[in-house]
Structure 1
Amino acid sequence: MSPQPRCPYCRHFVYLDALTCPECDATLAYNMVERQFHGLRNGQTVIDDEVWHSCSNRGWGCNWLVRDDAESGRCISCRLTRRRPEANDTVALEKLAKTEEAKRRLLLQLADLGLPITPWYVTKGGLGFDLVSSLSHGERVTIGHANGIITIDLAESLDDRREALRVRLGEPYRTMLGHLRHEVGHYFQNVLLTDESAWTRCRELFGDERASCRDALQRHYRTGAPEGWQASYISEYATMHPWEDFAETFAHYLHITGTLQTAAAIGIRLDAAVTSLRDTDVVPLESYEDRPVHSLLKDWEWMSRAFNRINRSMGFGDLYPFTLVPAVRTKFEFVHDIVTRAPLSTEEQYALTLPEELERT
């Protein structure tokens, strides 16, 4: 189900984080179940005879809706945030708004893929987010995942700080959405690998995750990636430990499927009659659930080349500065398989988690 980012009044395009329409100035809020914007009057709207309210965190940029009979005034996304800056830390809260925006985009994509989410407040080990800043009161914050909880350093929403880290670590890509996609890969590795045969295949491809993470971390930052790593890994960081290889591959799967979905939703395609890239058309799909992974990666190969050319024409680096070598493609096939065989379909997830677990807890 693709997003419908249009104003319900004037039908003008609006971005997913919009609070108002840039054309008619209408006050808007987003219903993630329908993937549609609705107009707000006095902070509420009616959808299918049910009253919905704006999220109580709207003052900090959240534009999602909450059902009238929900026991919490916070939307689904905001309720997954376990920790956030103190109310008097306005500087950190400003950074929180941008990170929450990235988290909402992540959750929409996970729902589109039909991936099951059990919140941290429903069961131990459920998905949650600690969004805190290393610039607040000298708190030490390490981006990572532990027992379902993803920790993000809000300080990295500062472009100069994040770019400095990217350069120092030799990374070609570093964004808040990228952090979230990587860390949620750790969560879903435990959720989606449900039997020993799946773990055995995972270990054949990525390595044995039972190896010491601490030793791997020390070795990685002492000696760097092994020579020739490009033949087997998507990134240098993926070489550090099997956990990180899986999470990096999962994150790139989300990068690719999310960008192709957006391209499909706005009608971007490569027309062989006019493009210099291909002799046949390339038409990206909103979903590759019923397609083999080579179809997904073939479309991405050509669309990413087009996107890279667009970026270069504006003086930027490549949109996707990575190479998908055969070994990495095999890893993508494994991720594609476990994602498309997830326990719940998208429709079942809406029916089971949105009305009951997330809104009524």
Structure 2
Amino acid sequence: MKLFVCQACKNILYFENRSCGRCGHRLAFMPERQTLSAIEPAGEGFRTLADGGEGRFFCANAEHDACNWLLEIGETAGFCRACRHNGTIPNLSDPVQLAGWRELEVAKHRLFYSLIRWKLPVKTRIEDPQHGLIFNFLADDPAGQQKVMTGHDHGLITIALAEADDIERERRRLEMDEPYRTLLGHFRHEVGHYFWDVLVRDAGRLDACRAMFGDDSQDYGEALKRHYDEGAPANWQDNFVSAYATTHPWEDFAETWAHYLHIVDTLEMASEFGIEIDPPADQIGGLTARVTFDPYVADDFDAIVNAWLPFTFAMNSVARAMGARDLYPFILTPPVIAKLGFIHELVRQGARAKPAAAQTMPAGQEQEEEIGAA
């Protein structure tokens, strides 16, 4: 993720900022320029100080303080490039569900920042009714009879609204003995399944993927049951980035995909701060790194790995000094690094592919009262 600068007063801004803390200008994200811009009212719309353009309008979800992205140039109503992928959203008359949905949107917009930076092929349900990417944010049945399960099914990603509750998410993390569980992690993992369909299955790369991750034709339901009954095999850390990655090749791919997104986006932020790792105690140079490159455009995956390993060692050491858990509680062995390299090449190839035609009509956002909504 980048740091941004207010065009009105030069204040440093962050991706989630809605207004400048120094000069008070309202801020909007311009997806086509991948930048945050100070804006000023101009006629019925806004003028963007980043480029002096006029006639820009906010996504419809700005009305609910769930989005600060601008519509495409020339559009005056509808949903932005990220929100047009929404299907069902929670009951917005319920303050708890509204607050939870806003948290989900923060994570989803960070996901779309990465997808846009890479120019990866993403279609809406209007463009591809059978497999377009769509998100349903669903609340549990209050009677406790039906729990929403986060997952992916042919482009439809369901995210349980309960995951936006920090206490509930931590309870689930502990119950499932996971070292890491975040909303952003869920989005990155589930979209990995979508891109397995798009960049592997539909792009003729099944054989190469199977050579790296294993035979995905094995029964998924049986594999999932075996995982929950027996757990991960012994010494799973030697070949997998997480215990859950051992479940099935599809989950191994999605977990590795998510970690690749973690790595690239975190290194971009480190680069924005000009971070260098050079501990005096390191006598052989294994923990030295200068994170001064843009990992989103890096062709050489070795450069990413060589920066990531020292950086995570430093991050985890600082977290421990604060009495907190490791920020990155994972071990990247050579087999796992090879899988990450496969994802790197897949993303680079996907970014070089001819982009889909521009959408002329934004997808609708179906707002429904979930089961059990107040």
TM over 0.5: yes
TM-score normalised over the length of structure 2:
0.87
Distance 1:321 1:205 in 2: 23
Please tell me the residue identity of whatever aligns with 2:100.
Answer: K
Distance 1:105 1:222 in 2: 34
Match of 1:105 among 73, 88, 110: 110
Match of 2:276 among 261, 269, 277: 269
Question: Does residue 62 of structure 2 align to residue 62 of structure 1?
Answer: no
Which residue of structure 1 aligns with residue 320 of structure 2? 312
Residue by residue, what CA displacement relative to the aligned partner does 1:268-305 show, whole Å, maximum 9, x if unpaired? 222x4x65447454234212544332221111111111
Pairing 1:195-234 to 2, within 5 Å after superposition: 198-234=205-241
Aligned residues: 352
TM-score normalised over the length of structure 1:
0.90
Question: Does residue 51 of structure 2 align to residue 44 of structure 1?
Answer: no
Report the Cα offset of residue 110 of structure 1.
1.4
Please tell me the residue identity of whatever aligns with 2:266.
Answer: T
Task: Specify whether residues 175 and 231 from structure 1 end up closer, same or farther in structure 2 by C-alpha distance, changes over 3 A only.
Answer: same
Distance 1:256 1:339 in 2: 13
Question: Does residue 236 of structure 2 align to residue 237 of structure 1?
Answer: no
SS in 2 for 1:29: strand
More helix by share: 1
- What stretches of structure 2 of length at least 5 have no aligned partner? 364-374
Task: Specify whether residues 284 and 234 from structure 1 end up closer, same or farther in structure 2 by C-alpha distance, changes over 3 A only.
Answer: farther
SS in 2 for 1:210: coil
Higher deviation after alignment, 100-109 or 24-33: 24-33
Question: Does residue 296 of structure 2 align to residue 297 of structure 1?
Answer: no
Which residue of structure 2 aligns with residue 160 of structure 1? 167
Task: Specify whether residues 231 and 49 from structure 1 end up closer, same or farther in structure 2 by C-alpha distance, changes over 3 A only.
Answer: closer
Report the Cα offset of residue 74 of structure 1.
1.9
Higher deviation after alignment, 286-295 or 184-193: 286-295
Distance 1:83 1:305 in 2: 40
Alignment identity in percent? 36
Which residue of structure 1 aligns with residue 20 of structure 2? 21
- How large is the RMSD of aligned CA atoms in angstroms? 2.3
Higher deviation after alignment, 217-226 or 111-120: 111-120
Determine which structure has greater relative contact order: mean sequence separation of CA pairs < 8 Å that are 6+ residues apart, divided by chain length. 2
Report the Cα offset of residue 314 of structure 1.
2.0
Distance 1:190 1:182 in 2: 13
- What stretches of structure 1 of length at least 5 have no aligned partner? none
Residue by residue, what CA displacement relative to the aligned partner does 1:82-141 show, whole Å, maximum 9, x if unpaired? 110133233212100011111011001112123111112211201111112226675531
